[in-house]
Amino acid sequence: DIQMTQSPSSLSASVGDSVTITCRASQSITTYLHWYQQKPGKAPNLLISLASTLQSGVPSRFSGSGSGTDFTLSINSLQPEDFATYYCQQSYTTPLTFGGGTKVEIK
């Protein structure tokens, strides 16, 4: 199975800061990497598919990049509604796997 490792597991930031979350795959997954945002008590929401395709309705302050084994999710100018947990997920091969999550907290 492909292992997905996210770092950091948590971070503290202020409104207006820019943050970067990293996701590393245990083998190349080309660009079959997707990002989700989850707020407490809610279902996850798809933000970015195929490493860099922003989903409809997702603010442009979110961006994704990477290919192969290393990927990043960047959030420019954090807004109060962005404080949440973020997960990456690979779909290069089954079984699909998620990263362990990165919790973005308010400093």
Partner 1 sequence: QVTLKESGPVLVKPTETLTLTCTVSGFSLSDTTMGVTWIRQPPGKALEWLAHIFSNDEKSYTTSLERRLTISKDTSKSQVVLTMTNMDPVDTATYYCARTTYFDIFMDVWGKGTTVTVSS
Site residues (vs partner 1, CB under 8 A): 1, 32, 34, 36, 38, 42-46, 49-50, 55, 87, 89, 91, 94-101
Give 11 or 96: the residue with its C-beta nearer to partner 1: 96
Using left for φ > 0, alpha for ψ between -120 and 50, and beta otherwise, residue 52 falls in: alpha
Give 17 or 44: the residue with its C-beta nearer to partner 1: 44
For residue 74, the minimal CB distance to partner 1 (Å) is 19
For residue 15, the minimal CB distance to partner 1 (Å) is 25
Alpha helices in the chain (DSSP H): none
- CA dist 72 → 4, 5, 40, 41, 42 (Å): 12, 12, 22, 25, 23
For residue 105, the minimal CB distance to partner 1 (Å) is 15
